[in-house]
Each structure stands twice: as structure tokens, then as C-alpha cells.
Structure 1
Amino acid sequence: MLGKLLGILFGSMIGAIPGAIIGCFIGHQFDKARRRQQGFQSAFGSGASQAERQTEFFQAAYAVMGHVAKAKGQVTKEEIQLASVMMDRMNLSDEQKKIAQEAFRQGKDADFPLLETLRKVRFSAGRRRDLLQFFLELQISAAFADGDLHPSEIQVLQTVAQELGFTAQYLQQRLRMQEAAFRFQQGGGFGGYQQQGQQSGGGQWQQRSTASQLNDAYDLLGVDKDADSKTIKRAHRKLMNEHHPDKLVAKGLPPEMMEVAKQKAQEIQSAYDLIKKEKGFK
């Protein structure tokens, strides 16, 4: 509206009624461009607001991670180690590590505002579902840090999933996939299954190990072991698209977390490569 008024005023100055009409048209175009710019800033944020949202996402992720770790009563050394490993993966500066550690500590407090924190994360992410999924998977990873999923941890994860807009069925699927990913890593599947032939224990041990890792690879991709190549390829493409580091950062993932996304993508690729080798397709 502001553009139309200015356009009419300017047009009247140069040509009465015809000038006013031309000015109104120019002003209308100005208003359309202005609305588009405002819409873009509202959806994706200006540089400063985007940086603020990334900082909030980063702090919330570590705070909720601390809350999940505390759910069963006592934070284990494995959970503390996981938080430290993730900090190392992100190549955090000393100042950033202090922020992450403080957020993790706050999440362990009895009065930590879990629901409020999750609602802020969901509001900030908007329709960017991949970001919310990444956030949920971070919390699932924290729960699996010691290789055991406690009922109280499941309860917290159910709350996290619900507040972020995910169904109970979706959470169960991701829990199964993360459990398989944990075993896959422990078995050397994450970039390590190629070294099986160097392990001791004989061919029978290697055969059992390979079968176990294959099962975990299928579960990691969320497909049945009898699935055809088309189904497996589709599942692989979907997961890789969901965890593509560049796409996640473009949608608002803090740059510090890009390395975590890269390693998750590598884990998915390793499982897919193992299945491809077994099934014999390209």
C-alpha cells in the first residue's frame, strides 16, 4: 500500500491522471517486491536472526541431551563421553565447548523446562522437518550411548518426538534403526566391515559376524532383508537426502553440527555398500 501511495504522488507530479496511473502501477510492483522480501526474511530469517536460531538449536540440542542422559537417575560415563565426542566431532572452540557443557548441565537440572525448550525448537524450525528429525536423532543417540535403553529414557524420547510433531510409530522405527546403527558401529560396520578378513577366529566366526552385520545394515536402512534392489535403493536415497549435510545447514542446522551429519551419512552409505556387495547389484 505504501508503494501505491508514493507511486500515485510521484506520478501526479509528472503527468496528472495518466501519471498517477503509471505511478500506481510502479508502486504496486514495489509493494509486491517488498512483500516477497518480507516473506523470505520471515521464512528463512536475516543473517542475524538465522544465526540466533542456529545458536538456540545448538544449545537446546545439548540441553535436551543432558535431560535424556539424566532420565534414568544417573548420567553414565558413556553418556558424558558421547557428549564430549560430539563436541570433538564438531571441532568446537573452547568457548563453544563451554556453552555446550553448560547447556548439557542445565538439561540435567530437575526443573529443566523440557516442553518449553522443545516448543521453541519446533517453532524456530517451522516446516523444516529434516531439522526436527536431526534433533530427535541426536537425542536417540544420547539414549543409546551406553548401549542400553532405559524405560525412563524412552518416556522422555516419546515426549521429545511428540512435541516435535512425530508419531509414536515413527519414533519406534527410528529407535530400531538407531539400535541397529549402534550394533553396526560396534561390529565394525561403520567404515570397518572391510577388515573382517583380518579378524581372528576362523571362517565360521566371520560368517556369523557378516550375517549379523548384514541384518543390522538392513535395519539401519529400515528395510527387510528380503527387499528387492529397487526398495533398498529408494530407502538409501531417502535417508541420504534426509541427512545431506549441505541441505541441513541450508535449512538452519548449526554449522558446528555439520560434521555429525556427515558421519551419519557415511554410516548410512556403509550399510548400503555392504548390502549392495551381498546382493550383487550396482
Structure 2
Amino acid sequence: MFYGKLIGGVLGLLVLGPLGLLIGLFVGHLFDKGLWQTLRFASPENIARIKQSFFESTFLLSGYMAKADGHISQQEIDHTEMVISQMGLSAEQRKRAIELFREGSAANFQPEPVISRFLEATGGQQQLKQTLLFFQISLAMADQALDDAERDALNRIATLLGFTRAQLEQMLRMAQAQGHFHGHGGAAGPEPGTTLEDAYEALGVSKDVDDKSLKRAYRKLMSENHPDKLIAQGVPEDMVKMATEKSQDIQAAYEMIKKSRGMK
């Protein structure tokens, strides 16, 4: 891959002479490197590798999160079973998911090697990192409570993935608020008692945000959770359903805000 260096070098030479040639070659090298990374991570072989890594990381870290407070609650077991059920796994895949969950819940489990392998496989793609973290947040909040041990475990995972504590706290607030719009029986729509403040929190914006910025935040969230985009990035198809449901929650929150503002 050398097109960037060739073009950059020629343009630099024409504009700035010998010094420009060196600058152009350097800039071109950076372009080539970025293009090669994009093409490499978009290959079918690597997409398959990303899917495998995402699957394994999800259930290993889920076991780690579930055991973070010293015991695995029934709600956490039910939540994991729900994820497995939604994925429509084969008997062999289901067995593997349970094995990974148990491995992650072992007393000597360390998340560092798992996340290191995940970052290597995914090239550190931001959306994949965020999606993996949201899976763990949803498990941590399955019992409607988040104790200090679970928060510390989440922060450990978030830090390893490259997120700050402030970013994690915002994601936690958004996830909790989005849960208010999941309705009963999984149907999208606000639960009884859901407030307008919950709607703003679900979108990660303040109540004094202008309409233009509100729409931008909403569209960004919807784009990040679009099934086709997630699948293209390497999230296993069977794990995309949860992201689809999250999109419905986000839309329900946005509709509440629009109605309160009289927006079209």
C-alpha cells in the first residue's frame, strides 16, 4: 500500500521542493497506514475473527461482572439466560457461552488478557468497545442495583477499554434512563412514572439543549446502534437484537422530548 506516499511525495516536491518531498512522504505514509488498517479490518476473515472475539469477551466479562460482588444473583443468571436465548444459539454455542461465563466468574479470573485480545482483534474500534461495555453495564444493572464492587469492576473494564470514569458514569446514567423506556414485556415506550428528565438523560443531553443539538445527539445514538452498522463492524448478528431494542428505547425517549417541545 504506497499510493499515499507516492501522491504526497510528488505534491510536496512540486510545492515545497526537497523538504516538501519529505513532508509529503511522511503524510502519505500516515494515509497509507490508515487505509491499510481500514481494509485489513474490513476483510471477511477479520470480521469473523472480530465476531469470535466479541462473543468470547462478552461472556467471559459477563461472568466476571456477575461475580464481582461475591455472588451471582438470580437476576444476573436470568439476564445472561435471556441474552443466550435472544441469540438463538445452537446447543454447542450455548454450551460454550456457559463455559465462558463460568470461566469469567472464577476467583482467579483477570480481565486484562481478555480485553487485550479483544482490542487486538478489533483494532480498538470505538463503537465495538462501547457496545461491549454496554453489554456489561446491562448485566450489572440487571438486579436494579449497582454496589461498589460492581462499579469498581465496571470501571476496571472501562479503563482497559480506554474510557474515563466520567464517560462510564455518563453511560451508566444513560443506560439507567433508557431502561425507563423499555416498557412492559419488552415493548418500547415509557414505563409509568417516567419523567422528561429521564428522557433527556437517556439521550445524554441536558434539558436546556437546543433543538438542533438534540436532533444531532439522537441521530448519533441511532447510528451507533443501527443493526447493519454493528454487524458490518463485527458484532455477531445474534447479539444485535439487544442493540435494536436499545434503539427503540432511545426513539421513545426522543419522542417524549419532541412532544414536550412541540417539535415536528
> Could you state the TM-score of these two structures normalised by the residue count of structure 1?
0.76
- Report SS of the residue matched to 1:145: coil
For the structure 1 residues 156 and 40, does the alpha-carbon distance in structure 2 shift closer, same or farther, using more than 3 Å as the test?
closer
Aligned amino acid, residue 84 of structure 2? M
Q: Give the 5 Å matches for 1:28-107.
A: 39=36, 43-44=40-41, 46-107=43-104
Structure 1 unaligned regions, length at least 5: 1-34, 197-205
Aligned to 1:164: 161
Are the equivalent residues in 1 in contact too, given 2:54–2:236 (CA < 8 A)?
yes
Alignment partner of 2:248 out of 266, 275, 280: 266
Structure 2 unaligned regions, length at least 5: 1-31
Aligned to 1:115: 112
The structure whose residues are more often helix, as a share, is 1
Quick one: distance in 2 between partners of 1:265 and 1:130?
Answer: 15
Deviations 1:53-99 (A, max 9, x none): 31121011111011011000111011111111112222222222111
* 1:39 CA drift (Å): 3.3
Aligned to 1:150: 147
Quick one: distance in 2 between partners of 1:145 and 1:103?
Answer: 19
State the identity %.
Answer: 40
Aligned amino acid, residue 101 of structure 1? I
Aligned to 2:237: 255
Aligned to 1:240: 222
Are the equivalent residues in 2 in contact too, given 1:184–1:213 (CA < 8 A)?
no
- Report SS of the residue matched to 2:188: helix
Quick one: distance in 2 between partners of 1:184 and 1:192?
Answer: 5
For the structure 1 residues 125 and 48, does the alpha-carbon distance in structure 2 shift closer, same or farther, using more than 3 Å as the test?
closer
Quick one: distance in 1 between partners of 2:88 and 2:261?
Answer: 38
Quick one: distance in 2 between partners of 1:126 and 1:56?
Answer: 12
For the structure 1 residues 101 and 174, does the alpha-carbon distance in structure 2 shift closer, same or farther, using more than 3 Å as the test?
same
Deviations 1:118-137 (A, max 9, x none): 11111211142100000011
* 1:40 CA drift (Å): 6.3
Alignment partner of 1:131 out of 120, 128, 133: 128
Quick one: distance in 1 between partners of 2:200 and 2:143?
Answer: 22
Alignment partner of 2:211 out of 226, 229, 242: 229
Are the equivalent residues in 2 in contact too, given 1:190–1:270 (CA < 8 A)?
no
Moved more, 222-231 or 40-49: 40-49
Deviations 1:213-245 (A, max 9, x none): 322111110112232222211110111111111
- Find the structure with the greater CA-based Rg: 1
- Alignment RMSD: 2.5
* 1:188 CA drift (Å): 8.3
